[in-house]
Structure 1
Amino acid sequence: MRSTKLMWSGIIVLVVLLFASYLVPSFYFIGYAASKEGSSVSDNYGNSNSSNNSSDNNGFGRNFYSYGMMSGYGGMMGGNWGSGINQSTNNALSEDEANKDMEDSLKNATVDKEKNTVSYSGDDIKIVVLGGPKQADEKFIIGGLINPTVYTPKNSNVTLEFINEDEGMYHNVAITDAAPPYAYMNMMQGQIYPGSYAGMLPPAVDGQFYSDSTTFNASYAGEFYYICQYPGHAAKGMYGKIIVK
């Protein structure tokens, strides 16, 4: 009898833990993630970001994802999750606008389809990252390539623009020194450089893609990874390598 009670107690605890593992990220991305109009957020680098929760025609707040209870250096869960340094949010983009942003970003880049690489040059570069488009579900696309290896010069000023083209999932992109394989919960991994994070964005609505951009300096060389921090996405293969040299 006692062993039976212990078994059922163990099953109940397991069910509760599984249920909590679903609710915690859901509450973060939906409840806690909504930013307040006119709020100001500071990080441990002394930078601050003021959010303006203006809405577009689809009714979403432009900073819907920003500054949840797990965000920022030294937040409730610590780590480098979403501090929003030098971060700005743009209006939703049409497919044509998203394609133009990608095209413009490749003017000082070399795309090698055989090697699956995109190599940027210059002191000021822009990397446009598409998340979860139809042709690459739960993957990134840069320069028409799926999860390519990206090369960027050391000390370059990098504008990272993320556009979520997925019609059913939240996505973001962050740069981390943590190599794959990734755990299901990878919220602590990201921002190898201050500001190297673009926000968690809602799915596309009526052909409009939400976008976020950030600017950072690639101040030291190394091999890093760009990943989606939504639970389970990097573990399923939503990541690529970025090499700074």
Structure 2
Amino acid sequence: MSKWVWLIIGVAIALGIVGLSIVILNPVYYYSGSLTHGYLGMMNWVYGGSGLINNQGYYGYSYGIYSIKQALNMVSAIPPYAHVYPSNNTIVFSGSSINLVVVAMMGDDAAKMFNTTPPSYAHGDVFIIYGLINPTIVVPSGSVMHILFINLDDDMYHNFVVTVAPPPYPYNVMPYVAMSGGMGPQMMLNMRWLPPANYHSGYAYGYEYTIAINEPGIYWYICTYPGHASNGMYGELVVR
């Protein structure tokens, strides 16, 4: 065979080895575009368009603008499959299809608005999920979670990322999360920080994405803006 044929074969083999290394070494996998079916590793992510996860159809990653009133109504409307326990700041979900509405805001504002207390480790901005601040979320393994995240903070950027990297978090959390195998390049590209809400005009920025967690264990949801996770903007996600 010619040297060009051998060159093509060599490149194909090298790419195959790189791909196999990623599958073996990285326990969390991310997908762009449409996903037709299946499960790899611990999490499946879908961005853009629509697709199927575990034979169920969901929309992928998308941005949107929401009215602040609409966002507050949605994050306060507890779905029938969510069991909220304020005494231990926990929400237990049942079923395999879960809608999770999350908003971000300053901890003092959240405490006053939702008449609840932030966890002792939270010293700044926080997440609010169905009336609780940074709650522990418990879901069955194999659940498909459709997440809607809206930034209701009036002066700070935020995002909402699920990761396997545990606290404590450094000030610049993204390299730490990336090295843990808990964030892929597509995740970092899409989960950008949302700008502050415009309370004068009554609207806020948000995004939606779908995640399937098939492996039982402890995960975490965090904001990756520098200093936010290290200041307590995170919560526990238990998959059982």
TM-based fold match above 0.5: yes
Residues 145/45 of structure 1: CA separation in 2 closer, same or farther (3 Å cut): closer
Answering whether residue 195 of structure 2 is matched by residue 220 of structure 1, we say no
Residues 217/115 of structure 1: CA separation in 2 closer, same or farther (3 Å cut): same
Q: Distance in 2 between matches of 1:203 and 1:236?
A: 18
Whichever residue aligns with residue 88 of structure 1, its letter is S
Cα distance per residue 1:121-171 (max 9 Å; x no partner): 111101111111522551111111111100111101101111100000000
Answering whether residue 194 of structure 2 is matched by residue 201 of structure 1, we say yes
Residues 215/105 of structure 1: CA separation in 2 closer, same or farther (3 Å cut): farther
How many residues are treated as equivalent by the alignment?
170
Cα distance per residue 1:197-241 (max 9 Å; x no partner): 854211001331111110011111111110000011000010010
More helix by share: 2
For residues 1-245 of structure 1, what are the structure 2 equivalents within 5 Å? 47-49=31-33, 86-90=60-64, 92-104=65-77, 106-133=79-106, 134-135=109-110, 137-188=124-175, 189=177, 192=182, 198-205=191-198, 206=200, 207-245=202-240
Q: Which ranges of structure 1 fall in alignment gaps of 5 or more residues?
A: 1-43, 51-81
The alignment-based identity, stated in percent, is: 37
Q: Which structure has the higher relative contact order (CA within 8 Å, separation 6+)?
A: 2
Whichever residue aligns with residue 71 of structure 2, its letter is A
Q: Distance in 2 between matches of 1:172 and 1:89?
A: 12
Q: Say whether the 8 Å CA contact 2:135–2:236 is kept in structure 1.
A: yes
Q: Say whether the 8 Å CA contact 1:132–1:164 is kept in structure 2.
A: yes
More strand by share: 2
**What TM-score, normalized to structure 2?**
0.63
Secondary structure at 2:193 match in 1: strand
Q: Say whether the 8 Å CA contact 1:198–1:213 is kept in structure 2.
A: no
CA-based RMSD: 2.9
Q: Which ranges of structure 2 fall in alignment gaps of 5 or more residues?
A: 1-27, 35-44, 49-59, 112-123
**What TM-score, normalized to structure 1?**
0.62
Secondary structure at 1:158 match in 2: strand
